[in-house]
């Protein structure tokens, strides 16, 4: 029997990876294979494992879902004020962002991703969860720096 104050909160990480090419800004997106938002486009990411640091989790998810390795990722923001942001569980997500040269990367969709693509920032569709909000927050951070 669980104590009445037991919390079943999951921690996730999401990667907002921008690519800059030919004077255009792109965002790396995956099309989800599983879950309540399957077939939706989303940011690469997933749940943190029990014995894993947050930065290691986001790097693992990026590599697993997109075949992308990013040398520098900065912690952006923690998303969790909307307790129903994920219909499967109470999930708090720590978002990271980075900037890469897409020409140097080979995209391969794997694990939870059906497809992976670079999408022009002004053509981003309505994404799963609160991922559009994550992109907006990352764009604000890019403008400040």
For 22-78, how does the pLDDT look when each residue is reduced to its tens digit (9 = 90+)? 899 999 999 987 655 556 899 999 999 999 999 999 999 999 999 999 999 999 999
In sequence order, the 6+-apart residues with CB closer than 8 A to the CB of 142 are 18, 97, 99
Q: Which residue has the higher pLDDT, 91 or 54?
A: 54
- Tell if the pTM clears 0.85, that is, is over it: yes
Distance between CA atoms of residues 61 and 77, nearest Å = 18
What b/e sequence results for 74-102 when a residue is b if at least 16 CB atoms lie within 10 Å of its CB, and e otherwise? eebbebbeeeebbeeeebbbbbbbbbbeb
Q: In which band, very low, low, confident or very high, does the pLDDT at 8 lie, cut at 50, 70 and 90? A: confident
The 10 Å Cβ neighbour count of residue 2 is 7
């Amino acid at each position: 029997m669980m104590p009445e104050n037991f919390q079943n909160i999951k921690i996730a990480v999401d990667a907002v990876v921008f690519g800059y090419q030919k004077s255009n800004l792109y965002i790396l997106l995956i099309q989800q294979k599983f879950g309540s938002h399957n077939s939706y486009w989303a940011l690469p990411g997933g749940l943190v494992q029990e014995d894993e640091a947050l930065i290691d989790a986001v790097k693992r998810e990026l590599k697993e879902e997109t075949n992308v390795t990013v040398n520098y990722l900065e912690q952006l923001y923690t998303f969790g004020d909307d307790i129903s942001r994920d219909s499967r569980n109470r999930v708090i997500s720590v978002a990271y962002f980075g900037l890469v040269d897409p020409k140097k990367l080979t995209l391969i969709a794997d694990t939870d991703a059906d497809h992976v693509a670079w999408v022009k920032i002004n053509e981003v569709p309505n994404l799963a969860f609160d991922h559009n909000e994550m992109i907006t927050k990352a764009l604000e951070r890019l403008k400040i720096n």
